[in-house]
Amino acid sequence: METFASWLVDLVHSFGYAGLFITMFFGNVLVPIPVEAIMIPAGYLVQQGEMNLWVVIGSAIAGDIGGSLFSYYFALHFGRRFLFAYGKYVFFTHDKIEMLDKFFAGHGEISVLTGRLVPGLRHFMAFPAGLSHMNVKKFAVYTGVGGGLWMSTLILVGYMIGGNKALVRHYMTYIEIGIIAGVIGMIVLYMRHHRKKTGASDGVA
């Protein structure tokens, strides 16, 4: 993993913003690339004056959204066909697909937004969104916002302490815990708002 991360850093360093876009794009299509392996070194390069902050953020978000849309459309056009044929072998039945459709119809936005902030989960949010035919514009917006928040946090880490790998490893645990806590808080607030909204609708009815 250390060698792979070094290769990613070299790619970004060699090809600049294009390398950043490419790694973020394919990280959402082929291999779940850990974002911190890319964005923390990019933040350090910003601190060193070798890259522009806003172009780094723009390139990363563009690659993130582009790769996610590729996976979204793949799931949209081929996901159901694949699951209807082979889903039974992994206990993914028609009933579960219908449950996923209903869930994303009502909670797709918050699921994508918070899912993009969770390490290990963020790379896989496009498939259920495409599978359930979530509105593509909303998917792109919430993917960009969630991914942008996480990547901006990592860029800040790289900018502040990117030159000290030991310090980065030390603080990343606390940052990830903070992100998870923030995600839980967002979900709790969303659930409260959703219940009030549903209760108001029932009262009107």
pLDDT grade, residue 37 (50/70/90)?
confident
Average pLDDT of 30-58? 85
The per-residue pLDDT for 48 is 87
The token pair at 172 is 């990343």
The answer to whether 156 and 45 are in contact (CB under 8 A) is: no
Write the burial class of residue 85 (CB in 10 Å: 0-12 exposed, 13-18 middle, 19+ buried): exposed
Q: How far apart are CA 119 and CA 117, in angstroms?
A: 6
pTM: 0.83
Sign of CA dihedral 40, 150, 51, 20: positive
User: Which comes out higher in pLDDT, residue 151 or 7?
Assistant: 151
The answer, yes or no, to whether residue 171 has pLDDT greater than 80, is yes
The per-residue pLDDT for 63 is 93
- The rounded percent of the chain whose pLDDT value lies above 70 is 85
Q: Tokens 């250390």 belong to which residue?
A: 2
